[in-house]
Structures are given as structure tokens and as C-alpha cells.
Chains A and B, each alone.
Chain A
Amino acid sequence: MKLKAGLIITAFLLIVALVGLFWTPYSPTAMVSARFTKPCAEHLFGTDNFGRDILSRAMKGLGTTFVIAFTTVLIGAVAGTLVGSVTGYYGGMTDHILMRFNDAVTAFPTFLLALLIVSLVGPGGRYSVILALGLVFIPGFARVMRSEYASLRNRNFVTNARLMGAGDARILFIYLLPNTVRVFLPAFTIGFNNAVLAEAGLSFLGIGVTPPDASLGYMLAEAQGMLAAAPWYALFTGAVIVLLVFGVGLIGEGLQNFMGEVE
């Protein structure tokens, strides 16, 4: 039920974002109407301080947000799984060192880490934000996957595989990896949501996606300064973010329940 509702909401938003790639009511950067036009038939979401159509910008921004959040989590998930599998499976000294490092990175303010990476990659642009956030998400995934691997490593099927002469890499990724789906998928959805929020947070702090392209987070940050003149700007963009996070969150919870039932 939850899974279904989540999928419907997310699919709807995904379709809107895809449509936004090819068609929007107005060009998202065109300064077409009077500034701060209230929501009306021509501009369902109203216009911003440049007289740009907010709906068109939100459609485009949704796409940007999707891309950023998805790639971000992907980086975090892949690298995190690598770290987590190795530390969880082998344990010992490697585990100790990597996890201490993990702790330090976790205790590091996200903003600082992001700023560092953005400035290393070369500031501005979408890619540095993605990379920055991707790295930020590694420790979380590493921790989840580590405990999963640690709990699985002494199971019978692993011992059997080892007796049959399977190499470590084979055990890690062919035998163990599929068994971590139970935690991996929900973690992925949670990570996606966190990425959406983190990107928006970075936009608030002034390092994120750059104008005239906009992510939802950047739009919301911009809208905050015009709250008294154009409250609809913040309300609509914020509502889209909430809907997206809500939809993906439902999928995550639905998945968790589903996996629970399967077991």
C-alpha cells in the first residue's frame, strides 16, 4: 500500500521532471511577465523577482534535483558498500582504522566537507556539488553495509562457499552482496532523501547549483529573501521538495515492510 502510494507519487514527479526536460510552459530562464505576479491562469505558480514563470523553473529544477540526488547517492552507495564490505567482512585492524576515519568524517560538518571538495574540484557547476555530497554520503553507507556484512560473514552459506574454494572477492560480491538488499534498498531511498535535503541546505549556505539553472533547493533559498513580497514562491517550491521526499520516503518504508514480510 505504502509502496504503491510512494511509487505513484515519485513516478508522477519523475514524469513531470522528464517532461520538463523537453517542454515547460515558458522558458525557465525567460523574463516574461511582471515580477512577483501572483499565481493565476497564465502562471499557475506565479512569477519570481525577474518575472520568470515559477512552474517552469520548478519543473526544470525538479529534474536537476533528481539528477543531483540520484548520482550523489549512487556515489555514496557504491563507495560506501566497498568500504563497508571490506571492513565488515575482514574486521580487525583495517576495520578499526577505517571506522575511526569514518567517525572523524561523520563528526566533520557537512558544509565544511562540501566546501572543501567544491573548492578542490573547482567551484561552481553541478558536478562539484554532486561529488561533494557523494563523498559526504559514503560513511553512512559504509556503516550500514559493514554491520550487515559482519552479521552475514559467519553464516553457513558463506562458510560453505569458502570451503568450496571461493575467493574473497567472489564471496564479497557474489555471495554476500545480494543478501544485503534487505538493508541496501531502504538505505538507498533514505540516502536519496538526505541528498535532496543536503543539496538544498548547501544552496542555503551559498554553495550549490548555480543560476540561471536552478535546483529546487536553490530556488527555495532564493525564495526566502522574497518571502514577504512573494510567499507563493517559497510555498510552491517547498511543497514540491516535501512531496518528493514524502514519496521516496514512502517507497523506502514500503520496501522495508515488504522485505520484512518476505523474510
Chain B
Amino acid sequence: MSLLCVGNSEDKTALKAVLKKLLVLPVTMILVSFLTFAAFEAVSGDPARTMLGTEATEEQVQSLRQELGLDRPFAQRYFRWLGGFFSGDLGISYSYRQPVRDLIGSKLLITLLLSLISFTLITVVSLPLGVISYRWKTTVFNQLFMAFPPFFTGILISWVFGIIFRLFTPGAFPDIYTDTGRALVHLFFGSICLAVPRIAMTVRMLRSTVVSEMNKAYVRTAISRGNDRQGVLKRHVLKNSLVSAVSFLGQTLAELVGAGIVVEQVLGIPGLGRFLVTSILHRDYPVIQAIVVILALWVGLAGVLADLINQAIDPRLRIRQGVVSA
């Protein structure tokens, strides 16, 4: 009974921590949006000029700046944007002259799919491998896989599957709505690039936690009492290693979107990352703002999610652990 009570109060403080994180999230987003805004104050390259190209006259550039409101003071522009953002208005893209919200939808979907497929791949492959890896004598191969940068894997995959076997056309991404099958194949190749080094990292991380857990007193006691190694591993060690694995995977989930930018570029996947890059080159501020804030939200949510899952596992683990050592 007393054990349960402990579990409950832990639960409450844990929930508080998650809530706190959730509350901090908008602060981070606002900060990020402000930084982006400020950044482009300093970057050279005028959106009006980029929109008008080489044929524009100086007065034309100036009057377009006025139309876009770029001549207003910094603070005024920022708060105007912020106000729009909170009322769901992301503004109009400078280069496409269409609402940013309409442009971003399908890109967001593609990037989400890419991240989720890689994430699934990482989880499905690395968890079992990580568990059996405590038996491995060496982790050199692990280290080797970690050395494969996503863009190089992307190039290798384009060469082998794209050029030699012609299973997909790197760069020619099929329409996600009408040609979903082939689009998913394309995304799958992209996720492999992202997953390879991260699977290696996760396996390494899991291996070291499993190994250190196996060396702990309660496991030794259990084994010396005659429980078989496998059984102990399955029943106790795994569950205890899971906590660190979940936080690690949460971190990975957060990183995937950023890492995806280069893969999107190499394999020509029309996701948020690639859109961000082109928008930066075209100084399309409203698009940049929106994407940066979405990415920040994603990073924050991934962290919160990992925490939540861990809170769900944690108390029960504690109880069990208590029972075992008793």
C-alpha cells in the first residue's frame, strides 16, 4: 500500500514536470520566431528585390517594400506577425503570393511521414538488436554504421536503387495523394538514410544500459538465486533499460526533422526542409517564419512525448523493482 502511495505522489510531480514543459513550449516558439525575425533583419538580401529580380528599378523595389510593409519598424512588423500567427494567419508567401497555410500542408505531411517512417524503422530495428547486443564482443561495426552520414547513404541509395536498379527516381517524388504507393517507397529510401546512423547510436546506447543494468546487484542476486539469465533479462533488465531508451528515442524524434533537411535535398523529397531552404534563398520571410516555428513545436513536442511515456513506465517499474529486491 505504501508503495502505491509513493507511486502516486511521484506521478503528480512527474505530471507537473510535463505540464511545465508544455508551458515552456510556447515561450520557446515565440523566442524562436523572434530570433528568426531578428536574424533576417541582419541578413543581407531584400525580399522585395528578390521578388522583382534583375529587371526592377529602384523605385519599384521601394514601393513594393512599402506594400509588403517592410519599411515599417521592426517591432511593429514582428508584433503584427505574432498577432496573425495566434489568430491562425500565417501570412502570404512573397514568392508564390499564396497563403502560407495552403502551401505548407502537403509539405508538412511529407516531412511527418519521412520522420515517422524513419522513427519506426529505428525503433523496430534497434530495440531488438540493442537487447541482444550485450552478447556482442565488439561494437566496431556499430561505430562504422554511425559514420555513415545520411547524405552519403542518400547518394549510395540513389546510385544503387535509382541508377543501377531503377527502382525509384531520386528527385522525382511521386504525388503523395494520387501515387501514394510509389511516394511511400521513395520516403522509405529516404528514411533508411536517416535511420542507419541512428539505429547504430540507439543500439550502442541500449547495449551500454543493458550491460550496466546486468551488473547491478538485483540482477546478480536474481541470477545467483538460480533464475536463468534470459529470464532475468526479459523480466527486469529490459524494462529498466526502456526508460533511458525512450528518452533517447524522444531526442531522436526531435532531431529527425532537422536531419531530414539534407536528405530531402539529396533525394528530392518535397518536404518542409527543402521548402525552408528554398524559402531562405528567396527571402520568403512568411514561409520561413512558419516553418521555423513548426519545427520548434515539433522539437518541443517530441521531448514532452518522451517524458509522458517515461512517466507512464516509471512508477510501475519502481514497484516491481521493490518487489524484486525484497
Query: Chain A: residues with CB nearer than 8 A to chain B?
Result: 2, 5, 100-101, 103-113, 115-116, 119-120, 193, 197, 200-201, 204-206, 220, 223-224, 227-228, 231, 234-235, 238, 241-243, 245-246, 249-250, 253
Contacts and interface: CB of A to CB of B under 8 A. Distances in A.
Given A104-B32, A107-B32, A238-B152, 15 more contacts: A103-B24, A107-B28, A109-B292, A112-B280, A112-B292, A119-B42, A120-B43, A201-B149, A204-B151, A204-B265, A205-B265, A224-B155, A224-B266, A249-B147, A253-B143
Contacts of A224: 155, 158, 266
B288 interface: yes
B147 A245 contact: yes
B262 A204 contact: yes
Contacts of A112: 36, 39, 276, 280, 288, 292
The dominant DSSP class at the B interface is helix
B31 interface: yes
Contacts of B31: 100-101, 103-104
Kindly list the 10 A-B residue pairs having the minimum CB-CB distance in the complex, ordered from nearest.
Answer: A246-B147, A245-B147, A107-B296, A104-B31, A238-B152, A116-B39, A119-B43, A107-B299, A201-B262, A197-B149
The dominant DSSP class at the A interface is helix
Given A100-B27, A107-B32, A116 B163 contact: no
A101 to B, nearest CB: 7
A73 to B, nearest CB: 16
A115 B280 contact: yes
Interface residues of B, number: 45
Nearest to A2: B140
Contacts of B163: 227-228, 231
25 contacts: A5-B140, A100-B24, A100-B31, A103-B31, A107-B299, A109-B258, A112-B288, A113-B39, A115-B43, A116-B39, A119-B43, A120-B42, A193-B147, A201-B149, A204-B151, A205-B262, A220-B152, A220-B155, A224-B155, A227-B158, A235-B159, A241-B149, A242-B144, A243-B147, A245-B147
A124 to B, nearest CB: 13
